[in-house]
Structure 1
Amino acid sequence: MLSVYVKYTKTMDNENITNIHEFDFNFICDFFLNTERQGPGSPEVTLKALSFIDNLTDNSHIADIGCGTGGQTMVLAQHAPGHITGIDFFPGFIDRFNRNAGKLNLQDRVKGVVGSMDNLPFREEELDLIWSEGAIYNIGFERGLNEWRKYLKTGGYIAVSEISWFTEQRPAEIHNFWMELYPEVDTIPNKVARIQKAGYIPVATFILPEICWTEHYYAPLATVREKFLAEYAGNKNAEEFVASSDHEEELYRRYKEFYGYVFYIAKKIV
């Protein structure tokens, strides 16, 4: 779960790894390591999405794919029963994830493991719930829906937040920016149609409020940028990395009426 401006694909296959600016992965990990969330969201939004999911028990198995350091995972664990496995490509994130679980005394049922979202360590029909906040884009929305479906039990749920257009038309600057980074960005009705095509019943869809970007994501990054530039003083790649983050934030503030994250919750019935 990372800023989608710094686009890369979390796979173990080097041919599939895409990093638009060819930043060192260490930059990405170091930059986001001390943030609670690696993308827009909030505890309130996590709980709202969770409210549409039923039938979870102490024996339920949940996967948070692209979990980052686990900000949203810990919220899930504190409000839902069952065992949760967090999956992320970055070992540093998983180390922090497991420390966070320990601090909250959740280590008996919450565990983070290093892994690839295109090679998940689960059996077919093992999971009751697949969760992924701001991360499914790494494998692709449609591909993730199709490939992850086999891991869900009949009656199991998938809940993902995904960048989406709010309007059919939008200014060329923001349209071209996102289409270059993530060609699968689309309108909400088209995303719902893809969910149905992949064999799920859409259960709920809602737009994440602006506060998820401004207060819960961009505001904490101000301090992170300052510390990051001090750590990598004089490093041109680090400076470019931070500049890209600043640019993404500026574009959001200018064009937030046209796009944002949307939570999609769906159910596998057969």
Structure 2
Amino acid sequence: MPFLRFHIFYGSVFFVLAPVILIVGYSFFDSNGNFTLQNYATYFASGKYLAMTFNSVLYAFLITLLTLVISYPTAYFLTKLKHRDLWLLLIILPTWINMLLKAYAFIGIFSLHGGINRFMTFFGLAPHQILFTDVGFMIVATYIQLPFMIMPIFTGLEELNPSLIKASRDLGANAFQTFAKVVFPLSLAGVKSGIQAVFIPSLSFFMLTRLIGGNRVITLGTAIEEHFLVTQDWGMGATIGVVLIVAMFIVMIITGEKKKGGRN
């Protein structure tokens, strides 16, 4: 056990802390390798970067909200099914497919001559441009994130004690009151875990913004990719990365479980 703990500790330091330390370190240097605080000054003084931050948070919020609205009823319905393991497998299966392949599949579906527009043409409707739009980006991002919201909510609902629901009904509560006062509050841990699993990655989407959004959707992830791979301004790219890491920690703190004080 001590040997295993040793490897886990140093593995976490090497694979988690070391990259974060490198990103923070790069953020204090300019393109010439000189120590500077100008990267942070530029970021917080630039309307472009602040607007990009706002867009990232807004898109992540909308994606998380849409995913939650779809996932909670789905997870609740799954708990009532007989062959739930089979349905869960079907929900998990898309996560085994590379995101790039899924993005290209949606390019074919959303294009002017794709499946959706052909279906609309069959009913006499004019084709619409779905690809390279905010709506198309939101649909694809929500689809990709659905399993990561459904699974923790399903787990939270599965762990509910059925006797609590029965007791609520025996005390005269109707179905809506039972859900609002018993089921939903007791499944909040799963909801919070799902929000973390969806909101945090959604802040840094960059592949989908290019392939599905057509660069019309600009996020922090897009800016980081641009600075590291195109402009070669690693200091500014690292600065945006630090801001993104801080935002992720804030989300984790907000959605984290609060420890109850006092003694039993």
Normalising by the smaller structure, the TM-score range is under 0.3
Q: TM-score, normalised by structure 1?
A: 0.25
Query: Which structure shows the higher strand fraction?
Result: 1
> Which gives a bigger RCO, structure 1 or 2 (Cα 8 Å, sep 6+)?
2
Q: Which of the pair has more CA radius of gyration?
A: 2
- Structure with higher helix content: 2
